[in-house]
Structure 1
Amino acid sequence: MNRRIIVSADAESRLNAARDWIESYPADTELLVLANSNEAGNNLHLSLVASRGAAFGVKRLSLNVLASRLAQRKFSESGTTPATNLSFTAVVARSIHSLQSASKLKYFEPVAAKPGFTIAVARTLAELRMNEIGPKALKRLERGGKDLAAIATLVDEELTRAKLSDRSTLFQTAIASIESEENSSYIDLPILLLDLAIHSVLEQQLIQTLALRSPGVLATIPHGDENTTKALQTALKAATELSTNVGAVPTSLDYVKQHLFEDSAPNPSKLDSSVRLSNWPGEPRECIEIVRSIQTEAAQGVPFDQMAVLLNSPGEYRAHLDEAFARSDIPAYFVQGITSPDPAGRAMLALLACAADGLSAKRFAEYLSLGELPPPETPKDIESEWVASNDDLVQTAFNFEEPDVEPAPVPLPVADTEKSDVIDGALRTPARWERLIVDSAVIGGKDRWERRLNGLANEFTLRIQEAAPEEEALVESLRRQSRDLKALRDFALPLVERLSKLPTNASWGEWLAHLRELSVNALRNPEGVMATLADLEPMSTVGPVSLNEVQLVLDSRLRDLRVKPKTRQYGRVFVGPIDAVRGMSFQVVFVPGLAERVFPRKIVEDPILPDLQRNEIHPLLTTRGDQRDGERVALRLAVGSARERVYLSYPRIDVQQSRPRVPSFYALEALRAAEGELPGFEQVAA
């Protein structure tokens, strides 16, 4: 059988090898292309069509989507539902809460109620399950092993009871289902593994099982990704082939690709225009200068979609880049979308906190202050606001692609500022109403809300009656506040009644029904909240769940809204994390943030399962050494994806802490690989 593994530091070399391999088959041959992302698979397919004129039967999938499709029939027969990442986190939260309530946690008891504990445990358990490490192995660990084993056991029981499948169960079911007749369209095909990153035993097993039935397999791997190389060598039982792409006259970019993080170095030479290193005073200015350089490259004929900005720390740069691109009117494709504070999500959290605090007026005032009140004429229809989950573990066998042309925005009705109770998402309310109806205390229920609001209305009426005839301005002010109070009563009392009817304990299915109804009736823009609730749909049968657990699960997801791109990448500058560039190449690449603790990021040990214990139970679990190697692979990926030029930059000032920054060792290493000599900090700063 034909099995090949090609390793190269140059993305274009790997893509050329992939194209040549596909073109060795007739144009109507069915092929299976497993890529790291949809963008990588689509770009490769379009380049094939451009060169051959036609290509039929090329299935382009990610490993997660392929596993989901292979397991689909068995899940349907057993009634099992794939759990989204948020659903799995909710199961972990429920398990921790149950053990903590029963006083069964010992080692983790002091931190079990901390906000980040559930997410940290969920991340660790997901990794353990993908490497088939069960509770028995965890029990042997001296520090926290019994607690972690108890959580893992309860999580497994909850998943089984609710007929939920996490990612590990999905992959196990996919492996067991490969021989099924309904999966015949995915087996016995030539397979291309395009720059896949293999991080677990189950991923390796799925590839190995597919490869056993394949007449030919080609795998491309970025140079330096040793974990993936070892996994694919084991799965495919093939040796690696090293591929290089150095021109007759090597450029500085060629030298960087060849010598980065290697013991070798080129002969000393000056830096040419293919590698540029600059520094700027802070991330906002750095992003502005990146956009200016993009304008310069575009003026020289480089298409927007042949330029990419690759981020090792997206959280530090995404918002600044979004603003810089918007100000310059340059179209950008943010592969993971834009993350920004979500008023609707925070309004929902404020309402849940209001219910949890006994219908607190202070929490209700927080909700009103966020400007998320729906106009009275808005239809309150849950079905019209339904949003599907975006998690790739629950994708069906069909692809629903969005149209290229975005629908024109529907203009909102203009409210009459004199008559409408809700204006631009804000409610008419009398000044300092919350101070008037409560004495900095929690309102104890709907009845007290109604009594206090009625009392305030009576106070306004009495003051109007007692006003002297010449106090017309005062009377008009009191009448205006009385009208505003009526608007508050008409809106707040039904909503407070709805909050008072939230259950104390209920299944997730009941909670989702209540939360969806609350969203469409209390939020101006409920789409983001509805999408989050859709991710929890697989949890419907799990329960009973308390309001406190609901708040714990939703808190981190609803505070910030990630808006995924609605348009395709073509004609736009590609912006995304470095790992998203696997299987892709661009003429010009920008890599910002080459400062200490930004690129490379600070390496921290897993707080739940330290490295010493990880090495004790399984050699493939990620340790700090693997994280360090991953940071190096990231820079290799970023530089290797550039065909003509790479811009490296770093902020020389930490704006938030008002202190100077220095370039990271990675910036110095890139210059050493390009020039043949290690520069000093003074040379880099100059």
Structure 2
Amino acid sequence: MTTEIVLAPAATGKTEQALERLLHVVGQPLAPVWVLVASARQEDAFRARLMQMGNKQVYFNIEFFDFFKLYARILNIAGQPVRALDSTGRYRLLRAVLQDLQRRDELRHFHSIAHTPGFVHYAADFLYELKSNVVYPEVFAAAARTHKDRELAQIYHLYQDKLKKHDLVDREGEGWLALEALQNDDQRLVNRQPLQLHLPLALLLIDGFDQFTSLQARLIARLAGRAGQALITLTTVTAREDTIGRRFAQALERLKESYKFENQPQPTITLLHATPAEDRRPADMRHLLAHIFRNSAPKAPAQGQISLIEAPDSAREVAEVLRRVKRLLLAGCPPDDILIALRDWSSYSPHILTTMRLYGLPLALHYGEPLHTNAAIVALLGLLQLHERDFQRREVFDTLRSPYFTFAGLDVAHIDQLEKTSHALVIVGGRALWLEALDEAPHVREDADDDQAPPLLPEASAALLKTHLAAFFEAVTPPPQAAVDEYVRWLEALIGPDPTQAPDEGPDPNLPANPLDSAPEQPAVYRLHLLANVRGAGRGDVPRHIVSRDLSALRQLKRVLRGLLSAQQLLKSLGEDHPVTWAEFFSDLRAALESTTFTPAPNRSGRVLVTTAANARGLPHQHVFILGLAEGLFPQRQPEDPLYTDAERRAFYEQHNIPLLTRAERASDDGLFYELIGLPRATLTLSRPYLQEGKLWIESHLWRAVTRLFDDLPLEKVRAGEVVPVQEAASRQEVALALAEAFHGQSQPVAAAYNWLLTTDGDSWARIRQGRELEARRMARKFPHDRYSGRLDDPRLLAFLQQELGPQRVWSASQLNEFGQCAFRFFAKRLLQLEALEEPEEGVDALVLGSIYHKILENTYKRVLQQGMTITPEHVEAALAFLDEEADKVLAAAPRQLHFRASAVWEGEQRVLRRRLHALVRKDFSADSPLNTWGEAPRVPFKLEMPFGTLALELDDGERLRVRGYIDRVDRQGDAAVIVDYKSGSRKIPVSEIENGRNFQMMLYVLALEHVLRRAAGNVPQNVAGGVFWHVRSAEASGQLSPADAAVAAARQHLTRYLQAARDGNFAVHPTKVEEGKCTRYCEFAQLCRMSTIHRDKPHA
């Protein structure tokens, strides 16, 4: 009947006091004891210490609970078993309430968001906050003043009504019923009526808490009154209850208020202080706990038990911490003696997972791996969302090429065909466009410029591919609306059965039956064979731990699906089972996956525990590591509540006595940190990142609170890019990096590590060393270009080059330009035939735009030629009219003929395109046209898109270079011919580009036209005046060239040299000009040529 609250600073023996009381009580025969702890980890730790203090004696009649288990136990004793809602069922029921209110048009303030998953979760959290503080619906309704208040009150009222009507409880509601059962039984005791709750408790022991909700505190008060004795342990920080001790003082005050509210005798308070002789903690820990957060605290010399780590980012911080952990383990420290605490689990757990595998560490993660991040689950979620974006190209191929799936009729060869077709016909997405493209593919040639080229796909292949692709689209598109069990059946049928299901992997008897388990086999069902592919991977070269990981994730997925079924079956029994949309079902599924973890090896025994800061409380260890002590990480920023501001929350308490916590009241990281630093018994390591996106990241005030208490705390600061010293390397990769660094001139003791690496992985080290030597040769000026920087020396390759680049090769201007810009660019594109895999995009790209410009101008000037018109000012309006007519025709057919998908801005692009062409034609027909510089005679179109066949261009060494191509336009001006080459861009091409051997196009055109005219009969120009590039975008000209210009002779010399170098295998990475770090402003091979690495002044061997 008496309650004692034991108050003590952190780590001064509160749990030990509780254990001594328990051992005293259990010494009495069959004395029932209930132990209430905050988490399963604390329960394990309490049991272990009990075994240790009790000399491993076996005890009966001791039961362990958290609050939720306690609620259920009380109700079972009272004969009031309940049907409890899980989180999925709770959200579904609340969504049904919101849908009902929306149908009745009773939501005005929340009308636009009530259907969203986010609002459902915010509302559910708020209702739990009210219920945990025992605020009944009618109490909140009476306090409602605004439309928002009244609508939330109505939601609360209807939600609670549905629970009562169908004898359901949620998690907090179960606590209400447990409290009510205790209150009613106490009233029976007063009325001398028979009790329903028989609780002959000898001891109620409550340990490991630092906060209580109103519901929890009131239930403790009532339950303590039924126990022979009750003992509650709480942390306190004497004389600092308004600062660091506020969290603990609030917990104590809430207990006192609850005892008073429930008419229970006030508990007695016992204050514990460990004497110096009793305090066995190291000196650094004692000083830290005694003086942390004190304004005028004395400094003490550091004794080495507390150390600090600063790393450039979170990933390196984790690596440094786990490296120390590995050193402890190798030194003989048991894994169970080490604890790692994280304040920001989502930011740090991916780095923990990656590094633990790299270092081979035995870690037990508190939450396991997030289910929604598993590779198999990510692939499945991606597949389920394909239809939402109408089968976007990249997402479709990511799915089709996933190793997790098998698709009927779509093997690797078919997928390759589909990718080639979609690229050629610019399919960016759209179910209808995919299927139309396969209809079109047999009628489109692989090379649009070659009439003899084969079609993209044979007709039969295209028809078969279309059938299988349409089946795939249909199979992965869910029904827009269905019952939950129908969606689950559809999804599990799509996933496919497990062909080798072991007995222990069968249905869980504790889960609701799956309708698919008993469904007859349906041969026509489309299946992805996900489980079969995962198991099949284990028979290949996929590591077994990957297969095990994926199978664990898929088993957990099945549990999630059955949880959705359980919620549906519950609602069905309540008459609330309405069909749901796919969006609602998928939202529930995703939310469940995001809140679920899977852990292939969840047992902590023999592993280092990695847990959150909150869950680490009450778990003393020899060695404790606390990560993330930077601003915004620890302490965490408290977000604003989405429903009520802090001012509104304060008003509820001040005006209506409804306790809703503000952000400041929820912020309790100082107290949490105080509890954490009381956990270590031997060493404490604090770490933080000091850079965030390249900028300085300020340390947390918690970090500063520790450092100001000591002189010269050991600090390890890792610099960005710093290589781990070889003696500290924790993985083979780190050893290799350290050795490479040592051979680069750093003095490290590497002999032992070098011998170890040669013994354990000599082949890898040989490859690393060879790669380093090659890179050093690339970077060094003294070594000439070799086969690793563009020089070929294999006789077979040189023979191939002599044949491939011999006199019979037909060159184009673009090929010669590529060689002029950079020999390696030519080698990669023309000889290796490499192409950048760029995603097709909607709209007009530069090549398509150029084709449109050329076609409209060709047709326009063809009509000028047919009409016998001169290119003079008096004909400009007629020419512009021709331009408009031809533009109408070309632009209307362009998307179909040029195979691009018109985007939403296509109409605007056409207007811009017409405006540019108008400006160019108007300038061409004006007196100051740049084409009038070669004479005063009026110009007339002579030839349009004029081909020149294989032209033999004589080089300086007497060899003839065979070239061919098309000239956009040739005008006649008296007896002279003028060449016009249209450029869609505005960037000018100066004659110096020709003279320096980077651009040969206009030179080839001038010489080719001279060759054609010499052999032509009839009324043709007698000579070539010159040529010019005309830029459509700016209507300006550049690169004006005449046959007699010195640049022509210089270009011939360059071509002679380039051809000889190419036949000799010299494709050295040595561009003739550097633009923005590349041979040209855009080069798709810039990542291959290593231009930034190779020394610019290397000699040519």
Smaller-chain TM-score range? 0.7 to 0.9
Measured after TM superposition, the shift of residue 16 of structure 1 is 1.3
Measured after TM superposition, the shift of residue 618 of structure 1 is 3.8
Whether the 8 Å CA contact 1:34–1:63 is kept in 2: the answer is yes
Give the alignment partner of residue 146 of structure 1, picking from 134, 145, 150.
150
Whether the 8 Å CA contact 1:124–1:609 is kept in 2: the answer is no
1:662 aligns with 2:698: yes
Measured against aligned partners, the alpha-carbon deviations of 1:250-282 in whole angstroms (never above 9, x if no partner) come to 6121122223335673x3322221222231111
Structure 2 counterpart of 1:129: 131
Separation in 1 of the partners of 2:392 and 2:318? 42
Separation in 2 of the partners of 1:544 and 1:102? 16
Give the alignment partner of residue 165 of structure 1, picking from 131, 154, 169.
169
Residue 254 of structure 2 aligns with an amino acid whose one-letter code is A
Shift of the 618–350 alpha-carbon distance from structure 1 to 2, 3 Å rule, reads farther
Structure 2 counterpart of 1:407: none
1:204 aligns with 2:217: yes
Measured after TM superposition, the shift of residue 580 of structure 1 is 1.0
Residue 307 of structure 1 aligns with an amino acid whose one-letter code is I
Structure 2 counterpart of 1:253: 285
Whether the 8 Å CA contact 1:427–1:488 is kept in 2: the answer is no
Structure 2 counterpart of 1:56: 59
> Where does the alignment leave 5 or more consecutive residues of structure 2 unmatched?
186-193, 237-244, 260-265, 447-451, 497-526, 532-549, 720-1101
Task: Output the TM-score relative to the length of structure 2.
Answer: 0.50
Structure 1 counterpart of 2:311: 280
Whether the 8 Å CA contact 1:311–1:591 is kept in 2: the answer is yes
Separation in 2 of the partners of 1:360 and 1:19? 62
Shift of the 103–59 alpha-carbon distance from structure 1 to 2, 3 Å rule, reads same
Q: 538-547 or 119-128, which moves further after superposition?
A: 538-547
SS at match of 1:133: coil
1:221 aligns with 2:234: yes
Superposed counterparts of 1:40-119, under 5 Å: 40-52=42-54, 53-57=56-60, 58-71=62-75, 81-100=83-102, 102-109=104-111, 111-112=113-114, 116-119=118-121
SS at match of 1:190: strand
Structure 2 counterpart of 1:23: 23
Shift of the 193–559 alpha-carbon distance from structure 1 to 2, 3 Å rule, reads closer
Separation in 2 of the partners of 1:47 and 1:539? 43
Measured after TM superposition, the shift of residue 473 of structure 1 is 12
Superposed counterparts of 1:178-327, under 5 Å: 188-223=201-236, 224=245, 225-235=248-258, 237-245=266-274, 247-248=276-277, 251-262=283-294, 265=297, 267-327=298-358
Separation in 2 of the partners of 1:562 and 1:535? 14
Shift of the 17–503 alpha-carbon distance from structure 1 to 2, 3 Å rule, reads same
Measured against aligned partners, the alpha-carbon deviations of 1:43-95 in whole angstroms (never above 9, x if no partner) come to 22122223322132221221112223433588986xx5311223323333343
Give the alignment partner of residue 575 of structure 1, picking from 596, 602, 610.
610
Whether the 8 Å CA contact 2:32–2:203 is kept in 1: the answer is yes
Whether the 8 Å CA contact 1:437–1:456 is kept in 2: the answer is no
Whether the 8 Å CA contact 1:74–1:173 is kept in 2: the answer is no
Separation in 2 of the partners of 1:556 and 1:675? 46
Separation in 2 of the partners of 1:8 and 1:363? 61
Shift of the 314–135 alpha-carbon distance from structure 1 to 2, 3 Å rule, reads same
Measured against aligned partners, the alpha-carbon deviations of 1:448-504 in whole angstroms (never above 9, x if no partner) come to 99xx49x9489679999xxxxx999998x99988887676566555555xx3xx362
Shift of the 60–589 alpha-carbon distance from structure 1 to 2, 3 Å rule, reads same
Superposed counterparts of 1:384-423, under 5 Å: none
Structure 1 counterpart of 2:580: 546
The structure with the larger Rg is 2
Shift of the 438–108 alpha-carbon distance from structure 1 to 2, 3 Å rule, reads farther
Separation in 2 of the partners of 1:148 and 1:558? 28
Structure 1 counterpart of 2:481: 504
Structure 2 counterpart of 1:393: none
Shift of the 515–491 alpha-carbon distance from structure 1 to 2, 3 Å rule, reads closer
Residue 63 of structure 1 aligns with an amino acid whose one-letter code is F
Separation in 2 of the partners of 1:531 and 1:145? 37
Measured against aligned partners, the alpha-carbon deviations of 1:172-198 in whole angstroms (never above 9, x if no partner) come to 223345689999786524121111354
Measured against aligned partners, the alpha-carbon deviations of 1:113-148 in whole angstroms (never above 9, x if no partner) come to 666333222211211122222444444344521222
Whether the 8 Å CA contact 1:342–1:558 is kept in 2: the answer is no
Q: 602-611 or 323-332, which moves further after superposition?
A: 602-611
SS at match of 1:211: helix
Whether the 8 Å CA contact 2:9–2:273 is kept in 1: the answer is yes
Structure 1 counterpart of 2:675: 637
Whether the 8 Å CA contact 2:628–2:688 is kept in 1: the answer is yes
Separation in 2 of the partners of 1:183 and 1:372? 60
Residue 13 of structure 2 aligns with an amino acid whose one-letter code is S
SS at match of 1:272: coil
Structure 1 counterpart of 2:661: 622
Measured after TM superposition, the shift of residue 591 of structure 1 is 0.8
**Alignment RMSD (CA, Å):** 4.3
Separation in 2 of the partners of 1:504 and 1:659? 49
Structure 2 counterpart of 1:386: none
Separation in 2 of the partners of 1:474 and 1:503? 35
Separation in 1 of the partners of 2:359 and 2:623? 19
Measured after TM superposition, the shift of residue 431 of structure 1 is 2.2
Q: 332-341 or 130-139, which moves further after superposition?
A: 130-139
Larger relative contact order (C-alpha < 8 A, sep ≥ 6)?
1
Shift of the 64–103 alpha-carbon distance from structure 1 to 2, 3 Å rule, reads same
Whether the 8 Å CA contact 2:617–2:676 is kept in 1: the answer is no
Shift of the 645–365 alpha-carbon distance from structure 1 to 2, 3 Å rule, reads same
Measured after TM superposition, the shift of residue 327 of structure 1 is 1.3
Whether the 8 Å CA contact 2:363–2:609 is kept in 1: the answer is yes
Separation in 1 of the partners of 2:111 and 2:97? 13
Measured against aligned partners, the alpha-carbon deviations of 1:12-65 in whole angstroms (never above 9, x if no partner) come to 612211221122123564321111112211222122223322132221221112
SS at match of 1:25: helix
> Where does the alignment leave 5 or more consecutive residues of structure 1 unmatched?
377-418, 465-469
Separation in 2 of the partners of 1:430 and 1:348? 21
Separation in 1 of the partners of 2:391 and 2:691? 43
Separation in 1 of the partners of 2:347 and 2:473? 39
Shift of the 10–159 alpha-carbon distance from structure 1 to 2, 3 Å rule, reads same
1:653 aligns with 2:691: yes
SS at match of 1:5: strand
Measured after TM superposition, the shift of residue 331 of structure 1 is 0.6
Separation in 2 of the partners of 1:370 and 1:128? 49
The percent of aligned pairs where both chains have the same amino acid is 20
Shift of the 109–262 alpha-carbon distance from structure 1 to 2, 3 Å rule, reads farther
Structure 1 counterpart of 2:159: 155
Whether the 8 Å CA contact 1:75–1:81 is kept in 2: the answer is no
Task: Output the TM-score relative to the length of structure 1.
Answer: 0.77
Shift of the 244–276 alpha-carbon distance from structure 1 to 2, 3 Å rule, reads farther
Give the alignment partner of residue 588 of structure 1, picking from 623, 626, 630.
623
Structure 1 counterpart of 2:870: none
Shift of the 369–221 alpha-carbon distance from structure 1 to 2, 3 Å rule, reads farther
Separation in 1 of the partners of 2:422 and 2:659? 57
Structure 2 counterpart of 1:431: 419
Measured after TM superposition, the shift of residue 538 of structure 1 is 3.0
Whether the 8 Å CA contact 1:41–1:60 is kept in 2: the answer is yes
Structure 1 counterpart of 2:773: none
Shift of the 607–577 alpha-carbon distance from structure 1 to 2, 3 Å rule, reads same
Shift of the 372–190 alpha-carbon distance from structure 1 to 2, 3 Å rule, reads farther
Whether the 8 Å CA contact 1:342–1:561 is kept in 2: the answer is no
Separation in 2 of the partners of 1:665 and 1:162? 51
Structure 1 counterpart of 2:558: 530
Whether the 8 Å CA contact 1:313–1:577 is kept in 2: the answer is yes
